């Protein structure tokens, strides 16, 4: 494999790693006063409207050709809807860094589905990168067995989030949507707002109230930075790189999540975690480096 990585993809990857990695420890703070469904409904609506407003300000058309809508809705249901709800619950039930590792098993599921369903073969370089990524996940899963045993639902939801992300990514790669990344991301976030808002009204507990300014600030930050900017960067990366390479490019996000969780919540960060980070770095170098 001799994939040439555009400099813009590398810049977007660095941005994505930072904003998504520091996002995970914020989930428990965002849901201290509101339900997961309310948090996600508000965040995706703000993020979607913000991205479409920016796209319009840049002179981009917000119109999406009719033939793309089925693909967009299918990808959105698997990635954004399933991912947003499952990953948030996982980060609440188990340590946020461990939840991030489970969610970012996405490259493993992406490669497995591509091989089993689509018949795609991985070159040796990507197979080695995948093995290093799996080793990193295995190390961290082993260290987190106690947390998973006490909250098995969090373990399951973390893996389910990774599977949903992989399926949604494959849908977009198999049937590319020829619209600007800002427009695509904005509409996907607003589509996500429909089921999450319904869930907020049906499942949210308690009477109406105004959350504290701290909760409002955390939710606003997550909506505008990790969700709006991060998702726009991700869909741009997906459009520039092969699906397996795009998936492996996200392998460093859990590393940042682990460090952020240790700093913010005092989550474990020892030799095993650092070894897993080294494996993740090696996987990323193999996935993005030249032969």
pLDDT at 268: 66
158 pLDDT more than 90: no
**Per-residue confidence (pLDDT) for residue 270, from 0 to 100:** 75
| Structural domain spans, the chain | 7-288
**Residue 289: predicted pLDDT:** 61
User: Region 88-112: what's the mean pLDDT?
Assistant: 78
Task: Output the CA torsion 201→204→210→213 (10° steps).
Answer: -120
Q: What's the pLDDT at 222?
A: 93
Sorting pLDDT into bands at 50, 70 and 90, what band is 72? very high
pLDDT value of residue 10: 79
Give the residue-averaged pLDDT of 208-234. 89
pLDDT tens-digit readout, 202-215: 876 666 778 899 99
Position 192 pLDDT exceeds 90: yes
**pLDDT single digits (tens) 252-265:** 777 787 777 777 77
Helical packing angle, 36-57 and 82-93, nearest 10°: 130
* Alpha-carbon span 188 to 152, nearest angstrom: 30
What percent of the chain has pLDDT above 70? 85
Provide the pLDDT for residue 2.
Answer: 46
Q: Quick one: average pLDDT of 193-197?
A: 94
* Cα 54-57-59 angle, rounded to 5 deg: 115
Q: Looking at the predicted structure, is the pLDDT value of residue 76 above 90?
A: yes
Question: Residues 227, 44: contact at Cβ < 8 Å?
Answer: yes
Kindly report, residue by residue over 161-173, the tens digit of the pLDDT.
989 988 998 898 8
The total of other beta-carbon atoms located within 10 Å of residue 121's CB is: 8
Query: Can you spell out the DSSP letters for 9-35?
Result: HHHHHHHHHHHHHTTGGGHHHHTSSS-
108-155 tens-digit pLDDT: 787 778 777 777 677 787 788 778 877 877 776 676 666 666 677 888
Confidence of residue 1 (pLDDT cuts 50, 70, 90): very low
Cβ atoms within 10 Å, residue 207: 4
How many C-alpha atoms does 181 have within 13 Å on its Cβ side?
14
Q: Give 209 or 86, the one with higher predicted confidence.
A: 86
Chain mean pLDDT for the chain: 82
Range 8-26 average pLDDT: 84
Confidence of residue 52 (pLDDT cuts 50, 70, 90): very high
pTM of the model: 0.79
């Amino acid at each position: 494999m001799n994939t040439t990585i555009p400099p813009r993809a590398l810049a977007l990857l660095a941005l994505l790693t930072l904003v998504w990695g520091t996002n995970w420890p914020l989930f428990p703070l965002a849901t201290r006063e509101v339900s997961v469904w309310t948090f996600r409904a508000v965040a995706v609506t703000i993020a979607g409207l913000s991205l479409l407003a920016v796209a319009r300000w840049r002179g981009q058309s917000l119109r999406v050709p009719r033939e793309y809508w089925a693909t967009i809705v299918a990808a959105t249901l698997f990635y954004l809807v399933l991912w947003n709800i499952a990953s948030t619950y996982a980060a609440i039930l188990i340590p946020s860094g461990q939840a991030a590792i489970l969610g970012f098993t996405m490259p493993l599921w992406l490669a497995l589905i591509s091989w089993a369903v689509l018949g795609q073969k991985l070159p040796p370089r990507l197979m080695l990168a995948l093995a290093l990524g799996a080793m990193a996940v295995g190390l961290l899963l082993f260290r987190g067995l106690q947390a998973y045993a006490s909250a098995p639902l969090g373990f399951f939801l973390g893996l389910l989030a990774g599977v949903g992300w992989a399926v949604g990514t494959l849908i977009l790669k198999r049937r590319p949507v020829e619209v600007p990344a800002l427009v695509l991301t904005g509409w996907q976030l607003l589509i996500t707002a429909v089921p999450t808002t319904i869930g907020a009204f049906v499942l949210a507990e308690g009477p109406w109230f105004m959350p504290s300014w701290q909760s409002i600030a955390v939710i606003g930050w997550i909506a505008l930075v990790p969700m709006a900017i991060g998702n726009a960067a991700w869909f741009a990366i997906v459009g520039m790189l092969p699906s397996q390479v795009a998936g492996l490019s996200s392998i460093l996000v859990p590393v940042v999540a682990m460090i952020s969780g240790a700093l913010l919540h005092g989550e474990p960060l020892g030799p095993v975690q650092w070894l897993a980070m080294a494996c993740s770095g090696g996987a990323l170098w193999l996935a993005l480096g030249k032969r």
